[in-house]
Amino acid sequence: MKFLISLAWKNLSRYRRRTIITAVAIAIGIALYIWIDALLLGAEMETVRNLIYFETGPARIMQKKYWEEKDYMLISYYLEDPAAIQAELKKEGYESTQRISFLGNIMNLEQQEGSFQIKMAAIDAKTDGVVFKLEDGIVPENGRFLESGEPEIIIGKDLAEDLDIKLDDWVLVTTKTAGDVYGEAGSWDDLELKVVGLLSTPNPLINKGMAFIPLDYAKQRLMRGQGATDVIVNFPAGADSGSEVEKIKAAIAGLPGAGDWEVLDYKELAREFIMLASTKSGGSKIILFLFFIIAVIGISNTMLMAVFERVKEIGMMRAMGMKDRAIVWAFFLEATGIGFVGSLVGLVLGILLTAYMVIWGLDFSGMIQGMGNIGYRTAGVFKGWWNFDTMLSAFFMGIIISGLVSFIPALRAVRMQITECLRDK
């Protein structure tokens, strides 16, 4: 075996040109595959990141009934003692915040030119920041974040523009309160609110169609002082959301009424959205697969060629008494060696390319007309996302494919007559 390894190594350095060409083929294939995967994933993750930081949060606890009828956002299905849930979670080390999520009709109080329905949330000004990044969306010239207990509101910047609202203007929000009987709808209520901040986040849905009011004020007006529709729980970005959900469920299982609650991660919360977004972005799986085909053909072809060209050499080795098996192994080792070198270079190159895409991204915003109208800053910049699974599997695929492919010509050569081999062109 030691001999075979040293033979393979010698062969690699002996045919330097061939080694280089083959390794380059592998490296380019691997690097580009890693890169395109990072790009496609980046496009998907952009939406997911915006979703977690601004809409869903990592995980959410709410009444099962509220979730069943999520489209209606019925605040009459509320959690009666959200603070107790938060306290239990705190014991397990989970940070959390509570919200009342509901639908409201918003209108410019002064102009009264028409209203439209938006998603709203009443947020705890003190703890909302442990889960969401709304506060980053307000730059000083656009006002300030909410303060507890006041009849005030912060709204998306584009929404404000559509309503012709400026800072310190007043809006009228009409919404339904929770009923006297648990689960029954209440009456309509009008909230007059002062606009104290305009949100400009990387999430266009927030900018275009959401507004936030202080939790305690909303509790008084809509819930008769108690309860909230959801408790949103934070966990680290890279964590496995499935097992985190299980841990959260376990942590709150002892509380009264826990059987009626639903604990869902962001994937479940925004299931339709995530699926629509990923499929809409256009069978990125198919694109990846097509890319994979060219890469594999490139690698295997170069390798096949490199070994086929050496049938004469194989004939020579056989004539000199080398065992067939040893020959096949020697070529396998050599091919694996090239595969390793090529894949390693490809991996490094792929990581560098991806790093560039993750940190800086490609800025095409100059090429798009009328950018101002899209109105959020990420448009036109393509960013990547780390996918270590792909990097690892691409690296090993490069090595394995190279190694396996070498068997085809080597096995064929050892089955030929030695004289045939030697006569091979």
Partner 1 sequence: MRLTEIAFRNIWRNKRRTLLTMTAIAVAALVIVFMFSLLEGLKYDQRNTVIKFTTGHIRIRNADYERNELLNPLQYNIKDYKQVLKVLNSVEQVDMLSPRIQFGARFGVDKDTYGVYKKEFDARGLGVDFTTEDQFQDLNIYLKKGGSLPEHNEILLTIGLAHDLKAEVGDTFDLFIAQTMGGLGFNSRNVRVSGIVEFPVATVNKNLFLMPLDDVSSLLRMDVQEKKSAIEILIILKNPDDIKSKAEKITAALNQANIPSILYDPAQPPAKDYEGLVVTSWTDASAWYAWLQMADISYNLIAFLFFILGTSVIINTIMMIIYERMKEIGTIAAMGMTGRQIMLLFFLEAFFMSVIASFLGVIVGAGLATALGKLDMTQAFEGLDFDIATVIVLRLNIRSVVFTFIYSVVVASLASFIPTIKAARIEPVEALRST
Looking at residues 26 to 55 of the shown chain, list those that interact with partner 1 (rule: CB under 8 A).
Answer: 28-29, 32, 35-36, 39, 43
Which C-beta is closer to partner 1: that of 44 or that of 136? 44
Main-chain phi, psi angles of 282, to 5 degrees: 95, 70
Start-to-end CA distance of the chain, whole Å, equals: 30
Could you give the 3-state DSSP secondary structure of residue 92?
coil
Which C-beta is closer to partner 1: that of 89 or that of 163? 163
Pick the binder of partner 1 from 10, 69, 148, 246 (CB under 8 A): 69
Site for partner 1 contains 298 (CB under 8 A) = yes
CA distance 403 to 349: 21
Site for partner 1 contains 91 (CB under 8 A) = no
Enumerate residues 368-397 that contact partner 1 by CB under 8 A: 368-371, 373-374, 379-380, 382
Site for partner 1 contains 163 (CB under 8 A) = yes
Site for partner 1 contains 185 (CB under 8 A) = yes
Between the alpha carbon of residue 54 and those of residues 12, 129, 232, 303, 310, the distances in Å are: 54, 11, 12, 50, 61
CA distance 368 to 364: 7
Site for partner 1 contains 425 (CB under 8 A) = yes
Site for partner 1 contains 169 (CB under 8 A) = no
Strand partners, 193: 171
Site for partner 1 contains 131 (CB under 8 A) = no
Which C-beta is closer to partner 1: that of 255 or that of 277? 277
Pick the binder of partner 1 from 110, 147, 162, 240 (CB under 8 A): 162
CA distance 237 to 198: 27
Site for partner 1 contains 119 (CB under 8 A) = no
Strand runs labelled E in 279-392 = 362-363, 381-382
Which C-beta is closer to partner 1: that of 365 or that of 419? 365
Enumerate residues 4-23 that contact partner 1 by CB under 8 A: 14-15, 17-18, 21-22
Tell me the CB-side half-sphere exposure of residue 277, using CA atoms within 13 A.
Answer: 18
Long-range Cβ contacts of 310-313 (<8 Å, 24+ apart)? 311/409, 311/413, 311/416, 311/421, 311/424, 312/421, 312/422, 312/424
CA distance 304 to 413: 12
The residue among 422, 283, 399 whose CA lies nearest residue 344 is 399
Residue 362 Cβ vs partner 1, minimum distance, rounded to whole Å: 7
Count residues near partner 1 (CB under 8 A). 72
Enumerate residues 222-251 that contact partner 1 by CB under 8 A: none
Pick the binder of partner 1 from 93, 114, 140, 259 (CB under 8 A): 114
Site for partner 1 contains 211 (CB under 8 A) = no
Pick the binder of partner 1 from 127, 174, 226, 393 (CB under 8 A): 174
Residues 239, 241, 247, 251, CA torsion sign: positive
- Choose the stretch contacting partner 1; rule: CB under 8 A; options: 126-134, 239-247, 267-275, 335-343: 267-275
Which C-beta is closer to partner 1: that of 148 or that of 279? 279
Residue 95 Cβ vs partner 1, minimum distance, rounded to whole Å: 30
* Contact by Cβ (8 Å): 152, 196: yes
Pick the binder of partner 1 from 275, 352, 355, 392 (CB under 8 A): 275
Site for partner 1 contains 291 (CB under 8 A) = yes
Which C-beta is closer to partner 1: that of 15 or that of 356? 15
Site for partner 1 contains 308 (CB under 8 A) = yes
Pick the binder of partner 1 from 83, 237, 297, 352 (CB under 8 A): 297
- Cβ neighbours of 382 (radius 10 Å): 14
Site for partner 1 contains 352 (CB under 8 A) = no
100, 93, 127, 273: CA torsion to nearest 10:
-50
CA distance 336 to 220: 70
Site for partner 1 contains 327 (CB under 8 A) = no
Strands 170-178 and 362-363: unpaired
Which C-beta is closer to partner 1: that of 107 or that of 333? 107
Which C-beta is closer to partner 1: that of 50 or that of 98? 50
The residue among 266, 149, 133, 263 whose CA lies nearest residue 216 is 149
Which C-beta is closer to partner 1: that of 138 or that of 163? 163
